[in-house]
Amino acid sequence: MNSITKKRLSGYLIDVAISTAVTAGVEYFLRKKVKNEAVHALVTPTVVLWGLEYVQLRQCRQTLGYKAMGITVENKEGGGLSDKQILKRMAYRDTVSTFDYLKNRKAFEGETGEVLPHDRYAGAVVRDVAGN
């Protein structure tokens, strides 16, 4: 596994931990209003994770986890991602990307880990800004 891929994984795990904490708080208030368990198990965690990631990528090209790992997400030209690119990246990562990994594990990490299938689909690249 490439060094940048390890940083990406660590950053994503940090983001999931933060999202889980926020989801717990949101669910505390939603449980009184929404009785459907499918909403609490599937919809709420996804909306919270995607919402946090969208806002952070839109504002500063990094999530808190990526910032801690010293990496940033940008478009191929070096600028910030558009709304469409962010949404395409998140949707592809959480759906089709798993099948890409299972289908061809060796080709999953492209360009030394800077471009994974969901990045390629959205026209994004992850750069190491820490230089480590």
> What is the predicted pLDDT for the residue at 44?
94
CA distance 65 to 11: 4
Enumerate residue ranges in the chain where pLDDT < 50: none
> Could you give the percent of the chain with pLDDT greater than 90?
73
Chain-centroid distance, C-alpha 111: 18
Nearest to 89 by CA among 49, 122, 47: 122
> What is the predicted pLDDT for the residue at 107?
78
> What is the predicted pLDDT for the residue at 46?
95
